[in-house]
Structure 1
Amino acid sequence: MPDMNPRAWHRKASRPVSVWMAVFVLAGLAHPWLPNATWLLVHIFTLGILANSIVLWSQNLTERFLGQRLDDAARPAQLARTYALNAGIVLVLVGATWAGALVVAVVLAWHAWALFTQVRTASRRHPAPTAFLLSACCLPVGALFGAALAQGLPGPWQGAVRQAHIVTNVGGFVGLAAMGALSVLFPAMWRTRGHDRAGLAVWLGLGGVVVAVAGSLGRADWVVAAGVLVVVAGWVWLAQGFVVNALRGTASYPGLSALCAVAWLIGGLTWFAVRLLRGDAEVPVLPLLVGFAGQLLIGTMSYLMPTTMGGGPAAVKAGLRELNRGTWTRVVLCNAGLAVWLAAGSSLVRIAASLVSVGALVAFLPLLGRAVKAQVGVIKAARRG
């Protein structure tokens, strides 16, 4: 059997995230010459980067939170899911949408079953793995909605299914996974004690997504708005504990990014619900993808990568120190840039603001390289000593 110790498995499973990040940056630079560039960039980010990250970290964190590290013999199957997921993503991106969506749906259903088995057999109970399980159940539905959109639907159905697709993927797949992870990671990022609010928040989040999707397919904007506001209620309930953590804790890049991401989500969804009640069903994509999903992903990875790599307190501290460089500058540039991007009337100003906002997130990549080098240096020095 190949080397499947925890670090070797995690390194192999996390490689697609790094590859898709590089692809995203290259595609962003080349977007003026790419056909359907906006759709391509959105799906490289949501499927290539986000889906891979959620599948990877939901497995990792489920084991941590349940105190149930799987046997090394289970790792090849997990890697097989990762490889199959990425094969499906490539099929979607090259235009074989139905085939790719079917592969993605099957892989996430398989992943959900694996998580269910762990939750069912664990001696410990924790709301976060349940959130990861429910999150994994959402993406197969969202993927099939996306495949239907690619084929083209008659009349108002295209808009209705597009709305259901976004609500399922952002509110369900990404949102529920974020709820589960942040219920534990947020207080750790701020170095404070947590507040156990995740249980109710997760079920409010799931219930709101179900209602909003039903409203989308029924073309009833007021039902969609009601479902979205239930999702917001779940996040507000959870975020009360986050605010307490932030007031009592120590600021860091991961903690500030996560706090701003949750604020963008709550604000974006509330604005969406208000607009729905006024007869405007346009989903606020930028606040949800850049402000919430993108910022949350980079923030949580900035915390999880050094802590997962390990090597002792000194090594982890060295890695975190590198990933915390320019904390306030990066957070301000990302969020202020996004605000200008949304508000500006000039296309040139929007382009400049988008480069500032996304560039502040992309700064994670060179800093990650520095963090790994610093952390490995401390680990090697300790071994020599």
Structure 2
Amino acid sequence: MSDTPTGDTPTRGTPPRGTPPRGIPAGGTAPGGTGRAGWHRRAGLLPVGYLVALAGVALVHPFLPPWRWLAIHLLLLGAVTNAILIWSAHFTTAVLRAPAPEHRRGEAARLVLLNAGVAGVLAGGGTDRPAVGVAGAALVFAAVVAHLLWLAARLRAALPARFAITVHYYVAAAGALLAGVPVGAWMLVADDDSRPRLLLFHAHVNLLGWVTLTVLGTLLTLWPTILRTRMADGAPAAARRALPVAVSGLALLGAGVLAWWPVAGAAGVALVAVAAGLIARPAVRAARHKAPASFAGWSIAAAGGWLLVALGLDAWTLLAAPDADTAAGRFGVVLVPLLAGFVAQTLLGAMAYLLPVALGGGPAAVRDRAGRLDRSWAQRVAMANGALAVLVLPAPPYVRITTSLLILAALVQFLIPAVRILIAARRQP
């Protein structure tokens, strides 16, 4: 099979087969309309703000007893969940070829609800006030329900679209989060023998469901756009095959950890890995046709590798643990490559590509922003991934501290230009 579609001679005005749909930001072009740019100037501050808070927690963590819990939730519930709500709405409109929204009141209301909930969860979990945390979790749940209903309504109203499978990934991801949030809220108020199994369930459906399904669905169109090449043959078909495999794996994994059937849990992880592999094959073909040449491309490529490493470690951890309590205690081995390697690098890579274009201002402004976010990108990618490789191996404490600081430095190198770009964009007329 060739790396690019062959045999297609599009008619005049028809985009070539394998071209991402209009509305997916493409390098060197600014999105039409100042309304969308203005929205992203405001909304873009949310995930970046949580990442700044995460960096702050990392710097002062010796003085924060619950720093690890706070760091995980600042990244996943704060930065990642905001980014998912913002960009999945954007991509849904693009892939379904829906008209641009006349206003953003619905999206704004969902984000306000979400962030009120995130504040409650962080306050409740960080200060040992379970009632506040449960109330915050209820608001997060309501925001995701509203987002899910919006996605379903867009699907029902849309004409048949080649890339509609992306939105089906978003629907499945939202369903996974809605299963994980109540379990997380329950753990704030309950502490009994079931806690290790609940912790494993909560972590897996949120990380492999909410986050990973969203990433796999989005990369169908975002990855070739980042590479500035055509989508590889068979990519949409691969995405359609992968979704039921991933959802079946999540269901089996969730049941396996709740009932503590480790073989079933490991089999579920294996199915998720198979789904990721199905998505990866056309992505690799696209990269062979045109290799990544930016921070966004290499960061996302490295993230894909760390996802497979984390899934392998996850399956091994479940199979090797004699009980759920031991498996939950060892899950930190999985979290390091999953959070720092996969989740954080995917988020930063996607933002490095999407923010410069979405903020508008014309091709010159887009190139300037992209250049600032790409500055020293090879050093940053190499430093972060080299440090992460050392961090996942057994090492003395001083080595782990040094490598952690290198990863933090790579994050700060991204945040400084990102904050400056967003502040400068907000000053535009």
TM-score > 0.5 by shorter chain: yes
Distance 1:373 1:143, change over 3 A: closer
The sequence identity of aligned pairs, in percent, is 32
In the alignment, structure 1 residue 364 sits paired with structure 2 residue 402: no
> More relative contact order in 1 or in 2 (CA 8 Å, sep 6+)?
2
Equivalent residues in 2 for 1:211-360, closer than 5 Å? 211-250=252-291, 251-279=293-321, 281=327, 282-283=330-331, 284-360=334-410
Deviation at 1:343, TM superposition (A): 1.4
CA distance in 2, matches of 1:202, 1:362: 35
Q: How many corresponding residue pairs?
A: 375
| Paired residues for 1:124-143 under 5 Å | 124-125=160-161, 126-143=164-181
Render the CA deviation track for 1:80-137: whole Å, top value 9, x for unaligned: 1101111111111111221111111111011010011011111142211111122122
1-structure distance, mates of 2:371, 2:34: 29
Q: Which residue of 1 aligns with 2:112?
A: 83
CA contact (8 A) 1:319 1:372 kept: no
- Tell me which residue corresponds to 1:199: 240
Among 212, 216, 219, the alignment partner of 1:179 is: 216
Let me know the Cα RMSD of the aligned residues: 2.2
**2-structure distance, mates of 1:19, 1:360:** 16
Contact 1:17/1:52, CA 8 A, preserved across alignment: yes
Q: Which secondary structure does the structure 1 equivalent of 2:375 belong to?
A: coil
- Bigger share in helix: 1
CA distance in 2, matches of 1:230, 1:189: 27
Q: Is the 8 A contact 1:4 1:72 kept in 2?
A: no
Query: Match of 1:147, as an amino acid?
Result: A
Amino acid at match of 2:276: W
Change (3 A) 1:212 1:77: same
Deviations 1:198-224 (A, max 9, x none): 222222222211110011111100010
Alpha-carbon distance in 1 for matches of 2:406, 2:343:
17
Which piece of structure 1 moves more, 237-246 or 261-270? 237-246
Task: Write out per-residue CA displacement over residues 187-206 of structure 1, whole angstroms, 9 at most, x where no aligned residue.
Answer: 11122221322222222222
State the alpha-carbon separation in 2 of the partners of residues 23 and 366 from structure 1: 13
Counterpart CA distance in 2 for 1:36 and 1:226 is 33
Structure 2 contact 92–166 (Cα < 8 Å) conserved: yes
Deviation at 1:65? Answer: 1.4
Shift of 1:253: 0.9
Contact 2:48 2:419 in 1 (8 A): no
Measured against aligned partners, the alpha-carbon deviations of 1:264-321 in whole angstroms (never above 9, x if no partner) come to 0111102211232223633301111110000000000000111212333333222222
* Residue number in structure 1 paired with 2:71: 41
Is the CA contact (8 Å cut-off) linking 1:242 and 1:259 kept in structure 2?
A: no
Gaps of 5+ in 1: 381-385
Q: Give CA-to-partner distance per residue, 1:139-190, whole Å, 9 cap, x none.
A: 12211111122223422x1111111111110000001110111111111112
Cα distance between partner residues in 1 of 2:402 and 2:111: 36
| Whole-Å separation in 2 of the counterparts to 1:29 and 1:277 | 35
Tell me, yes or no, if the aligned pair for 1:225 and 1:276 is still in contact at 8 Å.
Answer: yes
> Counterparts in 2 of 1:65-214, with a 5 A limit?
65-73=95-103, 75-95=104-124, 96-125=132-161, 126-155=164-193, 157-195=194-232, 196=235, 197-214=238-255
Q: 1:358 to 1:201 in 2, by over 3 A?
A: farther
CA distance in 2, matches of 1:61, 1:182: 11
1:18, 1:285 → 2: CA distance?
21
Secondary structure of 1:138 counterpart: helix
Cα drift, residue 369 of structure 1: 4.5
Q: Using a 3 Å threshold, how does the CA distance of structure 1 residues 18 and 271 change in structure 2: closer, same or farther?
A: closer
CA distance in 1, matches of 2:422, 2:47: 16
- One-letter code aligned to 2:148: A
Distance 1:214 1:92 in 2: 26
Kindly report which structure 2 residues correspond to 1:10-25, keeping only aligned pairs within 5 A, or say none: 10-25=40-55
The letter for the 2-side match of 1:356 is L
- Gap regions ≥5 residues in structure 2: 1-32, 125-131
Would the alpha carbon gap of residues 158 and 373 (structure 1) be closer, same or farther in structure 2, given more than 3 Å must change?
Answer: closer
The answer for the alignment partner of 1:383 in structure 2 is none
Quote how far apart the aligned CAs of 1:248 are.
2.0
CA distance in 2, matches of 1:189, 1:373: 24
Deviations 1:46-75 (A, max 9, x none): 1111111111111111111111134324x1
Code of the residue aligned with 1:154 in structure 2: it is: D
Residues 44 and 355 in structure 2, CA contact (< 8 A), matched pair in contact too: no
Q: Distance in 1 between matches of 2:122 and 2:253?
A: 27
**CA offset at residue 372 of structure 1?**
5.8
> How far off is 1:323 after superposition?
1.5
CA distance, structure 1, for counterparts of residue 241 and residue 367 of structure 2: 34
